[in-house]
Amino acid sequence: MGKALIIGAGGVAGVAIHKCCQNSEAFDAICIASRTKSKCDAFKEKLGGGKTKITTAEVDANDVAALTRLIEREAPDVVLNLALPYQDLSIMDACLATKTSYVDTANYEPEDTAKFEYKWQWAYRARFEEAGITALLGSGFDPGVTGVFSAYALKHQFDEIHYIDILDCNAGDHGYPFATNFNPEINIREISARGSYWENGGWVETEPMEIKRVYDFPEIGRKDMYLLHHEELESLAKNIPGIRRIRFFMTFGESYLTHLKCLEDVGMTSIEPIEFEGRKIVPLQFLKAVLPDPASLGPRTKGKTNIGCIFRGVKDGKEKTYYLYNVCDHEACYKEVGSQAVSYTTGVPAMIGAMLVMNGTWKKPGVHNIEEFDPDPFMAALNRWGLPWKESFSPELVD
């Protein structure tokens, strides 16, 4: 039994909050703290009648002193950061100040540079070790479950893994001409950046969306997918010994890409501030304000997601292929927790990571990526808490 402080009250936090309340054996209390307190109170109103005691608070997660005061007052066993990647470091600072363990789902990204890397958070390693507290980085789906899948494949299926292809397919249809499934600013920054993959000990860079493949996804069918840089490539390249290549592909429909190209061409995806009617605005932030709120997509989205990893390597001297994946249904997620599958597939692993750190199953002072922990309890919890996984020993390969 323990208490989590959840920071953020958006799409992903909403699912994690529902899941903590379903899992009251582990979470006897949660505090929901975010910039807009009314969103926290709405969750308390909806879910506060159950066994998990809920408190709420307003906090600016960029303000280390305010966060420190909040953590001291609420005394959680773990802080679950579900705000935006910009807040990772200030929340880690407050965890250090209060000697409280930390879990997040996305690596730090400075607000003024669209470049996410682990170096800023890895720089906290020694300080977390000295404080005797655990930081679990990237406990969403990708990063998150993809790292757990990799650790599981290495532990149970291979002597050495040589190739990993991470395939992220969202075949959901929300009926809007253009909308993003999670925070539009973070999403568009990610996909308008140059692509890259890890091969033979170094990064190979590509133009945005330069590499396209078509894949026949189980339970979904054939979809176009594009190679992107993705944050787990960086940690898996370090943590999977003998790895030769890791790539990440995400599916996008033609209409989505045409809209995005047009928005890019007119400058709407830029993060450079411009002068507008006497004040500075960031075009991408303005675009976020006019696009549908990802939270509003839940009731409209139909179809499934399929996210997984195809591994190739050797076992007992023989070449082997292995595919681990999860299929999630948007409408079933909405029925259960009031959110679509993209938030669901992130919020469930966030709850599981927080639970394992909180109850000491994953206690490892320092700053660690998810694949550095024993995958077995996490894999069992995925089956129990709504993201059952499937395996295949003869998947179609990506060339």
Binding site for ligand NDP (CB under 6 A): 8-13, 34-36, 39, 59-62, 82-85, 87, 105-106, 140-144, 182-183, 186, 294, 346
Task: Sort strands 318-329 and 304-315 into parallel, antiparallel or unpaired.
Answer: antiparallel
Kindly tell me which of 77 and 168 has the beta carbon lying closer to ligand NDP. 168
CB of 363 to ligand NDP, least distance (A): 22
Nearest to 150 by CA among 313, 358, 343: 313
Residue nearest to ligand NDP (CB): 10
Residue 381, SS3? helix
Kindly tell me which of 140 and 386 has the beta carbon lying closer to ligand NDP. 140
Between CA 23 and CA 386 the distance in angstroms is 12
Kindly tell me which of 9 and 161 has the beta carbon lying closer to ligand NDP. 9
Kindly tell me which of 158 and 170 has the beta carbon lying closer to ligand NDP. 170
Kindly tell me which of 88 and 313 has the beta carbon lying closer to ligand NDP. 88
CB of 367 to ligand NDP, least distance (A): 17
Between CA 60 and CA 50 the distance in angstroms is 28
CB of 193 to ligand NDP, least distance (A): 14
Q: How far is CA 134 from CA 74, 96, 343, 369, in A?
A: 19, 10, 25, 11
CB of 28 to ligand NDP, least distance (A): 24
Please identify which residue in the block is written with the tokens 């292809």: 165
Kindly tell me which of 158 and 249 has the beta carbon lying closer to ligand NDP. 249
CB of 349 to ligand NDP, least distance (A): 8
Q: How far is CA 329 from CA 17, 22, 174, 386, in A?
A: 19, 19, 13, 11
Task: Sort strands 53-58 and 160-170 into parallel, antiparallel or unpaired.
Answer: unpaired
Q: Is 272 exposed, middle or buried (0-12, 13-18, 19+ CB in 10 A)?
A: exposed
Kindly tell me which of 166 and 243 has the beta carbon lying closer to ligand NDP. 166
CB of 144 to ligand NDP, least distance (A): 5
Q: Where are the beta strands (DSSP E) in the chain?
A: 2-7, 27-34, 53-58, 78-81, 101-104, 134-137, 160-170, 195-199, 202-206, 212-217, 221-227, 245-251, 274-276, 279-281, 304-315, 318-329, 366-369, 389-392
Q: What is the 3-state secondary structure (H, E, C) of 116-158?
A: CCCHHHHCCHHHHHHHCCEEEECCECCCEHHHHHHHHHHHHCC
Between CA 205 and CA 211 the distance in angstroms is 11
CB of 229 to ligand NDP, least distance (A): 14
Kindly tell me which of 313 and 353 has the beta carbon lying closer to ligand NDP. 353
Kindly tell me which of 158 and 191 has the beta carbon lying closer to ligand NDP. 191
Q: What is the DSSP letter of 193?
A: S
Structure tokens given for 344: 């669901």
CB of 11 to ligand NDP, least distance (A): 4
Structure tokens given for 382: 């995925």
CB 306 within 8 A of CB 288: no
Enumerate the β-bridge partners of residue 391.
Answer: 324
Kindly tell me which of 21 and 186 has the beta carbon lying closer to ligand NDP. 186
CB of 318 to ligand NDP, least distance (A): 33
Kindly tell me which of 1 and 289 has the beta carbon lying closer to ligand NDP. 289
CB of 319 to ligand NDP, least distance (A): 30
The runs of H, that is alpha helices, within 10-53 are 11-22, 37-47
CB of 342 to ligand NDP, least distance (A): 6
